[in-house]
Structure 1
Amino acid sequence: MSFLFIFIALLLSSCVGSSTATDSTCGNKVVSTIVVDKTGSGKFRTVQAAIDSVGDMNSQWIKIKVKRGVYVEKVTIPLRKPCIIVEGDGQRVTTITYDAHEATDVSSTFTSYPSHIVVRNLTIMNTYNRLSFRSKPSWQIKPAVAVAVYGDKSAFYNCDFLGLQDTLWDVQGRHHFKDCYIEGAIDFIFGSGQSVYEDCHINATAGALASEVTFGYITAQARTSVSDPSGFVFLRGSVSGTTNVYLGRAYGPFSRVVFIQTDLASVVIPEGWHPWHYAGHEMSFTYAEVECKGAGSDISKRVPWIAKLQSFYSKQRFSTSTFIDQDGWISNIPPF
């Protein structure tokens, strides 16, 4: 991961906050649909061309319907284009993929900057690190982001995110991930987002590179202060895989990650959590597991500084409605 991301996130947040279009509602209906089909039957052959066609500071929902197929391209939704829905034909049916790596701020296959963005029914992948053969003997595992989300009030439904290191960069803002599949091995959900992962399947695996990754980390959350509202909440869902993993390591001195009623498989390392570069700040972290189940849910060998949160308190404070949907933005997302 790049340690420049905090500066970038703060810079972009100031831009987002100044936009009245992204702060106001987009309505609750799709007013126009743009079809993308790589075979040529749609208006555009690439996802990026369809996004580019949307008018600046759009204030009504525009759907970009991406037909089945594999789209090899880097996709960026610019800050000036809110109120966009990108919808595929299904997970592993519509796939957007690319092979970039190195710095996190330039490697992402799919990058979203504005508020009020919805992505659903598709797969987004970064293929770097995922191939078992590389032509150059100097090749090594590097950060390779599949998705980077900067904008507030963004939602991802029925999506697959595939990578190995730094798969999902949850940069900043309130985000709702529901019924998603997220795959990786090293810090593969990271950033300063204020997000709920609801009924998501987390798969910890290094795939063909298992011999090079002896263990990994699911989250690297970067909360910076006690007043910072960010944090990752995993509500129900499951953690499984083939690579042993910590549930998280600290990417900030007040890192916050909570698992509630999640099915944790035996791949979870007994200690559960790691301070990383913030050893000495452990009492400032909020790492908690509430009513979890499964072979990996035994907390008897967890680090002594995990938070002991009351079940009722956790369910209320970290519910979707309380943690990210205080103003009801999710209910304004048009239905499938």
Structure 2
Amino acid sequence: MSSMSRARFLASAVAVAVLLVASGNVEAGRHGHGRAAHRHTKGLRPGKARAPAVAANATSVEQGFARWVRFMGGLEHSVFQRALNRALVPTTRVVVVDKTPGAGDFTSIQAAVDSLPVINLGRVVIRVNAGTYTEKVSISPLRAFVTVEGAGADKTIVQWGDTADTVAAGPWSRPVGTFGSATFAVNSQFFVAKNMTFRNTAPVPRPGALGKQGVALRISADNAAFVGCSFVGGQDTLYDHLGRHYYRDCYIEGSVDFIFGNALSLYEGCHVHAVSPQYGALTAQNRKSLLDDTGFSFLNCRVTGSGALYLGRAWGTFSRVVFAYTYMDNIIIPRGWYNWGDPTREMTVFYGQYKCTGPGANYAGRVDWSRELTDEEAKPFISLSFIDGLEWLRL
């Protein structure tokens, strides 16, 4: 094996190991086995390596991630250990992005992201000064602990215009698909965004148009929070793909399925605005199994806009969405929910309302397979415990 091949193999091994073992520690922590596992690894490799610096107020999940680094640092394979020593340097810094050359550290958000260590273990704040940044941004899986903070959602905008049928550059010339259409894609844990607008500039498609999904932001990782952000697009605006997420005081605009995915997410104090000229759907939640701990909960939100809007469509067989203490304008279709053309899903979905207000909140016309929740039924959906927020959320 050549030296170049060995280097590539080592880099791949580090990446895969980080993802697999870090995930295991998170799950262990959630099920109460994290401490026992920690004792076991300490007994095997006492005092071999120091953990990277972790803030004193780090959550249990963050501490578990650091414990894994200590475990890996104790391995006897010196080449592997040296690679980790180079890659796992904790970073606690602020970088500034400004469109004007020389006014900040970088002129694009992606350049700031690319400057981070391949495996990032310290909180890095990317401060994005006011301006419209026309670029496509992606944060790779191992660049954890990234905060992107704008000067205000009305002042700091990142935008792009891909749709599902946009053909990717390169020799393959294939459409990027809905997943690849995202203006801003997050694939790493512990991401935070504040006071930013994420926009897909593709226009609202005509009813029934194919390949016109245009994602403004896709979040495909656990432990993410968004505060004071705006997500603006036409169809499929916010791809709430995977993981536990928290949205507070955000604005979300779109027409069809403009909040969709299979995450476990709490939307608190958010304004959801429909721009469909005819018919639309607010959510398309993709829970596929009764065992999946996923779903969307909207707490103290507002639903406004134009057209006629379903509260949700049953993308997943066990789709789960709840609206609590939410104001609904008169754009809500009285039936409220759509079964995705599959009547069997009416027996497996979980769609509920709890103490909602406004002309669109009248439960009398709802489909008989949705429910008006009791106090006891609503309780799991109306606090941070819905997303295990007390374990990992720190804003």
Q: TM-score, normalised by structure 2?
A: 0.73
Displacement of 1:17: 4.8
Give the greater-gyration-radius structure (CA).
Answer: 2
Does the 8 Å CA contact 2:266/2:384 hold for their aligned counterparts?
Answer: no
Shift of 1:26: 6.3
2:296 corresponding residue in structure 1: 232
1:318 to 381, 389, 392: 381
Deviation for aligned residue 1:16: 4.3
TM superposition shift of 1:20: 6.5
- C-alpha distance in 2 between matches for 1:254 and 1:312: 21
Amino acid at match of 2:244: R
Q: Secondary structure at the match of 2:311?
A: strand
Q: Is the 8 A contact 2:324 2:382 kept in 1?
A: no
Q: In the alignment, which residue of structure 2 is the partner of 1:39?
A: 100
Whether 1:125 aligns to 2:199 is yes
Query: What's the CA shift for 1:311?
Result: 2.1
Tell me: higher relative CO, structure 1 or 2? Use CA pairs within 8 A at least 6 residues apart. Answer: 1
Question: For residues 42-71 of structure 1, what are the alpha-carbon distances to aligned partners after superposition, in whole Å with 9 as ceiling and x for unaligned?
Answer: 000000000011112211110000000000
CA deviation map 1:186-211 (0-9, x unaligned) = 000000010000000000113xxx2x
Does 1:77 pair with 2:151?
Answer: no
Cα distance in structure 1, aligned partners of 2:375 and 2:23:
38
Which AA in structure 2 matches 1:200?
Answer: C
Partner of residue 55 from structure 1, selected from 117, 140, 146: 117
CA change 1:47–1:18 in 2 (3 A) is: same
Equivalent residue for 1:19? 22
Going from structure 1 to structure 2, the CA distance change for 1:186 and 1:26 (only over 3 Å counts) comes to farther
Q: How far apart, in 2, do the equivalents of 1:186 and 1:237 lie?
A: 19
> What is the count of residue pairs matched by the alignment?
308
Greater displacement, 139-148 / 58-67: 139-148
Secondary structure in structure 2 of the residue aligned to 1:76:
strand
Distance 2:18 2:349 in 1: 29
Match of 1:67 among 116, 120, 129: 129
Please list, as runs of the form range in 1=range in 2, the aligned pairs for 1:1-336 lying within 5 A after superposition.
16-19=19-22, 23=26, 27=55, 31-40=92-101, 41-102=103-164, 103-130=177-204, 142-206=212-276, 210=277, 214-314=278-378, 316-325=379-388, 327-331=390-394, 333=395
Q: Deviations over 1:83-123 (max 9, x none)?
A: 00000000120000001111111110000001100011010
2: distance between equivalents of 1:63 and 1:277? 45
> Is the 8 Å Cα contact of residues 16 and 115 (structure 1) preserved in structure 2?
no
- Which residue does the alignment assign to 1:135? none
Are the equivalent residues in 1 in contact too, given 2:363–2:372 (CA < 8 A)? Answer: no
CA contact (8 A) 1:267 1:296 kept: yes
Partner SS, residue 385 of structure 2: helix
Identity %: 38
Which structure 2 segments of 5+ residues have no match? 1-15, 30-52, 59-90, 165-176
> More deviation in 178-187 or 274-283?
274-283
| Structure-1 separation of matches of 2:284 and 2:210 | 21
Q: Alpha carbons of 1:158 and 1:19: their partners in 2 closer, same or farther (altered >3 Å)?
A: same
Q: Distance in 2 between matches of 1:227 and 1:15?
A: 26
8 Å Cα contact 2:110-2:137 kept in structure 1: yes
Between Structure 1 and Structure 2, the one with more helix by share is 2
**2 CA distance for matches of 1:241 and 1:286?**
25
TM-score w.r.t. length of structure 1: 0.86
SS of residue paired to 2:110 = helix
> Which digits, 9 at most, give the CA deviation of each residue in 1:246-268, with x for residues without a partner?
00000111000000000000011
| Partner Cα separation in structure 1 for residue 120 and residue 358 of structure 2 | 46
Instruction: Give the counterpart letter for 1:196 in structure 2.
Output: L
Q: Secondary structure at the match of 1:171?
A: strand
Q: CA RMSD in A?
A: 2.5
Distance in 1 (alpha carbons) for counterparts of 2:254 and 2:24: 35
Counterparts in 2 of 1:249 and 1:280: CA distance versus 1, 3 Å:
same
